Amino acid sequence: MAGAAAGADDGNAADMAAPSPADQLRALLAEDRLLQMPGCFDAMSARLIEEAGFPLAFMSGFAASASHLAEPDTGLMSLGEMLDRGREICAATPLPVIGDGDTGFGNAVSMRRTVQGYAHAGFACIMVEDQVSPKRCGHTAGKSVVPRREAEVRLQAALDARDEGADILIMARTDARGPHGLDEAIARCQRFMEQGADITFLEAPTDESEMARYCADVPGPKMANLIEHGRTPILSPARLEELGYTIAVYPLTQLSAAIRAMRESLAAIARGGEPPGILRFDELTEAVGFDRYHRLASRYADE
């Protein structure tokens, strides 16, 4: 009887377990509303997204490469380095996090391993793309993509990893708009959905009419990439939802704001002045979690 009781307890615990990050994201997508998703590059920037009340976060490869290596997003980050950043980010917040998986860090077999690694790191979704490796930031010049058949094989490897046990969603991205035009980019997204992608992402449409056509011609959840002063117009959340987008990502806003603030602070110090707009020390300690730490420590203090 004791064994049966223990089994029942285990079953109740399983029933009460929190949904996985992938299940959290599936539930958000089912709400049929636009989801605003800022980008992060470390645990602190992820925590701030949660603090601000957003429903999900995005680990940007551009921002991760800049913050970790001080280098551009040109394929210099290794899979291991991206997983290290991802584990830190996913551990810092209960929000579902979408991670930039680039081109899969190798061939189709490497793509399977990449998807499995991102799932184990705690990501809700991995974004995989059809650029030639080493890839480039989607809003910079000189991009090239692999042939459509190779893109399909690359995506299929990601989908196979998902379907064979990796609890993670797959976002299929195409950068074909720049080198091959909108028709080819839309055709690729349509094919990606036919293969079984959970979300598509047509990178860098150049105006609202292109965004509208993508949304009209491709079924399923779709993401808009909103980079300040980039190639795609920054539309309001209401307009993006009206067009048919599901997610609006702001991948570089926090990084851009942080770099500007750090430069201004350093310039002020160099002039012998006071850096502008910095937090009071008590605000800083609260932001990084000292208050939370002390509350936890007090629970275990000697009576």
Q: Over 70: is that where the pLDDT of 286 sits? A: yes
Q: What does the mean pLDDT of the chain come to? A: 93
Average pLDDT of the segment spanning 257-264: 97
* Per-residue confidence band for 138, with pLDDT thresholds at 50, 70 and 90: low
pLDDT at res. 4: 43
More confident site: 301 or 68? 68
pLDDT higher than threshold 50 for residue 102: yes
300 lies in a domain?
A: no
Q: Examine residue 272 and state whether it is found in any structural domain, yes or no.
A: no
Number of domains in the chain: 1
Residues in the chain: 303
Count other C-beta atoms under 10 Å from residue 7's C-beta.
Answer: 10
> What are the residues whose beta carbons fall under 8 Å from the beta carbon of 205, sequence distance 6 or more?
177, 182, 211, 214, 231, 232
C-alpha distances in Å from residue 295, one per residue of 32, 52, 92, 289: 39, 22, 18, 10
The domain spanning residue 67 has which CATH number? 3.20.20.60
Question: Which 3 state secondary structure label does DSSP give 15?
Answer: helix
The pLDDT of 105-120, averaged and rounded, is 97
- pLDDT for 135: 76
pLDDT at 303: 54
C-beta neighbour count of 187 within 10 angstroms: 17
Q: Is 13 part of any domain?
A: no
Distance between CA atoms of residues 293 and 286, nearest Å: 10
The verdict on residue 297 lying in a domain is no
Domain that holds residue 96: 19-261
This prediction has a pTM of: 0.91
Q: Is residue 147 part of a domain?
A: yes
**Residue 45 falls within a domain, yes or no?**
yes
Supply the pLDDT for residue 8: 46
pLDDT of residue 16: 67
Q: State the pairing for strand pair 223-225/35-40.
A: unpaired
In a domain, 137, yes or no: yes
290 falls within a domain: no
Share above pLDDT 70 across residues of the chain, in percent, rounded to a whole number? 92
| First-to-final CA distance of the chain | 39
The whole-angstrom separation of Cα 108 and Cα 78 is 16
User: pLDDT class for 1, splitting at 50, 70, 90?
Assistant: very low
Which amino acid appears at position 3 of this protein? G
